[in-house]
Amino acid sequence: MNFGKKHIILYFLGGLALLFIVVPVLNMFFATELDVFFQTARDSEVKNSIFLTLWVSLAATLLCAAFAVPLAYLIAKKSFRFKTLLMGIINIPIVIPHSAAGIAVLGLVSRDTIIGKAAATVGLSFIDSPLGIGVAMAYVSLPFLIISAINGFTEVPEKLENAAMNLGASRWQTFFKVSLPLAKQSVFSGLILMFSRGISEFGAVIMLAYFPTITPILIYDRFTSFGLAYARPVAVIFVLICLTVFLFFYLLTNKKRRD
């Protein structure tokens, strides 16, 4: 395609959109002094919150994968009535405000509900606990995994699965040896998306668990208590970690694709 002078307006408009994404982040980096940055990096409250955010999101992602991947496979491979409606339902957590999503989850798992009481009998609580944080993160980020996995499984030709069964493979063997390996790129991308979306969640988590504090809530807490200068270094560190994690998985995914 020849992008000549006549596309200068497109370049300009596109460039503005790109700047809108990049400039606030760069500005945040440049506005943070290095000594404050390193001082914040040594802050145990910051370190603990980042560690908590990462492991809870990772655990939520891996646990949900056990349910989301089979669901995605069924949706991709089976024809049934109301399939479109089901796809719409899966998208609900994306389209509703995240604070509302948090309220919805809270209404289901708070201490006076059946689920809350049942959890209490085994010593668990969804309120102000990593469990609650994980549930809130999972609720808002699960659709990303399901949708990505559906796309992956849809692209696996039915002929290959039929060939596997004709060659003697059971449905499970066909799934694990043919369908899942061929869809792994999309499933893996979905896992990254869900994990990334989970670690950045604020609205839903704050409804269930202000404490222990995940990093997005810590940033908010420092901003409301001490102002921008105290919130910004935490944000910079967290953004750097998010970008590093994202870059690592992106490179890993690309390597798998090349392989």
Q: What residues line the site for another protein (CB under 8 A)? A: 157, 159-160, 162-170, 173, 177-178, 181-182
Query: Shortest distance, CB of residue 182 to another protein, whole angstroms?
Result: 6
Query: Shortest distance, CB of residue 161 to another protein, whole angstroms?
Result: 9
Alpha helices in the chain (DSSP H): 8-30, 34-41, 44-77, 83-90, 92-95, 98-109, 114-121, 130-154, 158-166, 171-174, 180-199, 203-208, 215-226, 228-258
Ramachandran class of 212: left when φ > 0, alpha when ψ lies in -120 to 50, beta otherwise: beta
| Torsions phi, psi for 107 (to 5 deg) | -60, -20
Burial class, 107, CB count within 10 angstroms (exposed 0-12 / middle 13-18 / buried 19+): exposed
Query: Shortest distance, CB of residue 170 to another protein, whole angstroms?
Result: 6
For residue 11, the Cα-to-chain-centroid distance in whole angstroms is: 31
Angle at 201 between CA 198 and CA 205, to 5 degrees: 105
- Residue 3 burial (CB count, 10 A): 9
CA–CA gap between residue 198 and residue 202 (Å, rounded) = 9
Residue closer to another protein by CB (options 92, 165) is 165
Query: Shortest distance, CB of residue 86 to another protein, whole angstroms?
Result: 24
Residue closer to another protein by CB (options 88, 181) is 181
Query: Shortest distance, CB of residue 78 to another protein, whole angstroms?
Result: 15
Query: Shortest distance, CB of residue 175 to another protein, whole angstroms?
Result: 12
Residue closer to another protein by CB (options 161, 201) is 161
Residue closer to another protein by CB (options 133, 164) is 164
Which residue carries 């750097």 as its tokens? Answer: 240
Residue closer to another protein by CB (options 115, 165) is 165
Query: Shortest distance, CB of residue 174 to another protein, whole angstroms?
Result: 8
Residue closer to another protein by CB (options 7, 256) is 256
Count of alpha carbons within 13 Å of 128, Cβ hemisphere only? Answer: 3
Residue closer to another protein by CB (options 3, 172) is 172
